Amino acid sequence: MSEQNNSNTSFAHAFLPGLILGLIVGALAGALVPDMMTAKKFKVDPNHTYTPSPRDERPAIDLEAQAIVDAAEKAAADAAEAAEEGTDDAQDAAQDLIDDAESTLPSTP
């Protein structure tokens, strides 16, 4: 009786993973092999030059819109520079306050 249970469990441990793997491999082969068999082989022509399709071309931006974009980019760069200068000024002021406090405080309590 125990031999029959042991053989059933070993069969299940070997058969089920093999079945699942076989189904996966079969599905992949069934999807890829027929397409590969019927696909037309193409040859590369070294004299052919690339011609972009209409989808490859970027839409033209009118000059007025480009001027607005350029002005916005310049304003953003100027704002970033002003913020950096303000931060530097604030750090210098804080350091001056610390230096003043250290010079006016007594060295011994």
Residues in the chain: 109
5-47 residue pLDDT tens? 655 667 777 788 888 888 899 888 888 887 777 766 666 677 7
Residues with Cβ within 8 Å of 53's Cβ and at least 6 positions away in sequence, in order, are: none
Return the pLDDT at 39.
65
57 pLDDT exceeds 80?
no
Report how far residue 66's alpha carbon sits from residue 58's, in angstroms, rounded to the nearest whole number: 14
Full-model pTM: 0.37
Q: Is 85 a domain residue?
A: yes
**Residue 99 counted as domain residue:** yes
Lowest mean per-residue pLDDT among 35-39, 69-73, 81-85: 35-39
Residue 50 lies in a domain: no
| 45 in a structural domain | no
